[in-house]
Amino acid sequence: MSAVAGDGTATARIGISIAPFAPLLACLGLLAAWQIGALLLGTDSIPTALDALRAVPDILGDRSGLANILDSIRRMAIGLASAVVVSIPLGLAMGRVPAVASFFNPILMVTYPVPKAALMPVIMLWLGVGDLSKTLVIFLAVTLPIIYHSFEGAKAVEEKMIWSGAAMGMSRLQIMARIVLPAALPEILAGCRTGLVLALITMVTSEMIARKSGAGNILFNALDMGQYDTVFAMIIIIGALGIIFDAAFDRLRRALVAWSDTRQDIPLSFS
Amino acid sequence: MRATLSRDIVLGAIPLILIAAVWQAIVSFGYAPAALLPPPGAVFVRLVHQLGGTDFLAQGGATLLRLFVGFTIAAVLGIGIGLMAAVHRGVDAVVRPLVRVLAPVPKVALYPALLLLLGFDHASKIALVVADALFPILLSTYYGATTIEQKLVWSALAAGTPPHQVLYKVVLPAAMPSILTGCRIALVISCIVVFLAEMISSTDGLGYLLVRAARSFQTVDMFVPLISISLLGLILNALLYGARKVLLRGFPEV
């Protein structure tokens, strides 16, 4: 019995000591595989991992390069924040009021498989190629998963908690804000995490279509001009942004919902 | 029951009709010139007209082929790797950190690399669909397989099932509801991604039709591919729902 317990703690200790470095090891492994693959292929259009990494400081050190990337991040933040503000109340209302759910469900179902970045050419006709249309597209792309997760979260709230709230004389709005919202929070945050990845993807695509500024603009212009080191360096930068944002959000999520069973949610990435 | 169902249909139809009405109103009261916003009638007439033509069907077929091949590869890989990671410690130790790093990477950004590696033909687009559809299926398989009732495995072993058969006789069916949820998400993603890939390296497909129309400011033709991809997504979703009903026979209401 004691042997089993001892074995268990030993593996747990090893698990703890390796666990924080595992993603780092995975990154190194991927870069190594890339390096070997590129050397084996030996074509001009696929630079080695080291060449691409060397091009990263050139982009980040360049004033306009950095400004482009910060532009992208600003648009993404505005689109994401406004989507969160609109989607969570709507999703919660859909989860608690059946009529609201049946009102919005079909339209959400119809619009779900439409790539929101594909609306970009149409929206550009109306609003131009500036910040407004790109932010709008990011907003549209992010709303759906957050609405959906808030909806599912609110639907699953235990009825007894709502009855107790009502018995204590809370108004419907108070029940929403003080019972449904916190109870659905783990699910809502799972939706926000998906939304975060989605916002980044839409950001890149919208800039690919409306080449005016931004990280996607640098990436696809470099592709068109055959500057392959820059292409792959931008891929590294955008990929790193995704990993960093996701890790930061995960820390926030853990702090906010430390009370719930930690679901090891890795985001289901959308496009 | 029937009363609530018809009430749901009426309620759900309201926003769709409202959008069409507002769209028509904007056009007919002259707030937007037809060059910027074509009347909805014209778009649907064009869609129906196009559906009869071979060119449009060929483009749609190219999109559907990439979608189908990419989704199938992603499903096979995702379910396979997910199950292996769930039951085997060594595989788990390798797959987990890799997924943690790769899942939040925006895959469209990889598309230029795929283009340079695989060329402008089907292969690069299919590879992008696989890269994007893989993770939802893999993760939902993994969660489904790691959360199954341990007693199911024990009783199968006690009943004399060989350990290697437990995987597809017990674990796979028990994880099926979760796997299918992942497949549903992956299907929507596949629709979106294939369209984007066709927009970026426009050679053929529905995404190419949109880009071509946008370049020549044919607004009516811009709306047709958008509506087509939405319809395609709805049809595929309905098919998957049907498959789900067949595969989940005997499950207590999922």
Indicate which CATH number applies to the domain containing A148. Answer: 1.10.3720.10
* Calpha distance A19→A14 (Å, rounded): 8
Nearest CA in chain A to B231: A110
A76-85 pLDDT, tens digit per residue, is 999 999 999 9
Position A26 in a domain: no
Nearest CA in chain B to A240: B105
Total domain count, chain A? 1
Question: Domain of A148?
Answer: 43-256
Position B254 in a domain: no
Q: Do A220 and B188 touch (CB under 8 A)?
A: no
Position B252 in a domain: no
Nearest CA in chain B to A249: B104
Position B253 in a domain: no
Q: pTM for the full model?
A: 0.82
- Please indicate, yes or no, whether residues B114 and B190 belong to a single structural domain of this protein: yes
Q: Do B104 and A197 touch (CB under 8 A)?
A: yes
- Please indicate, yes or no, whether residues B28 and B47 belong to a single structural domain of this protein: no
Best residue in A34, A243, A266 to probe B by mutation, most B CBs within 10 Å? A266
- Please indicate, yes or no, whether residues B86 and B22 belong to a single structural domain of this protein: no
Position A224 in a domain: yes
- Please indicate, yes or no, whether residues B23 and B48 belong to a single structural domain of this protein: no
DSSP state string for A91-152: HHHHHH-HHHHHHHHHHHHHHTTS-GGGGHHHHHHHH-SSHHHHHHHHHHHHHHHHHHHHHH
One-letter amino acid for residue A9 of the chain: T
CB < 8 Å from B in window 204-243 of A: 204-205, 208-209, 216, 219-220, 223, 228, 231-232, 234-235, 238-239, 242-243
A202-240 pLDDT, tens digit per residue, is 888 888 888 778 888 888 888 888 888 888 888 889 999
Q: Which member of A121, A234, A266 has the closest CB to residue B210?
A: A121
Q: Do A242 and B211 touch (CB under 8 A)?
A: no
- Please indicate, yes or no, whether residues B18 and B49 belong to a single structural domain of this protein: no
Q: List CB contacts (< 8 A) between B233 and chain A.
A: 112-114
Position A77 in a domain: yes
Residue B145 sits at the chain A interface (C-beta within 8 Å): no
Question: Domain of B98?
Answer: 40-247
Position A74 in a domain: yes
- Please indicate, yes or no, whether residues B18 and B56 belong to a single structural domain of this protein: no
Residue by residue, pLDDT tens for chain B (254 residues) are: 556 667 777 777 887 888 888 888 887 777 777 677 788 788 888 888 888 778 888 888 888 999 999 999 999 999 999 998 888 888 888 888 888 888 888 888 888 888 888 888 888 999 999 998 998 899 889 888 888 888 888 888 888 888 788 888 888 888 888 888 888 888 888 888 888 888 888 778 888 888 888 888 888 888 888 888 888 888 888 888 888 888 888 776 54
CB contact at 8 A, A133 and A116:
no
Instruction: Output the six-digit token pair for A83.
Output: 């989507």
Position A263 in a domain: no
Q: List CB contacts (< 8 A) between B13 and chain A.
A: 106
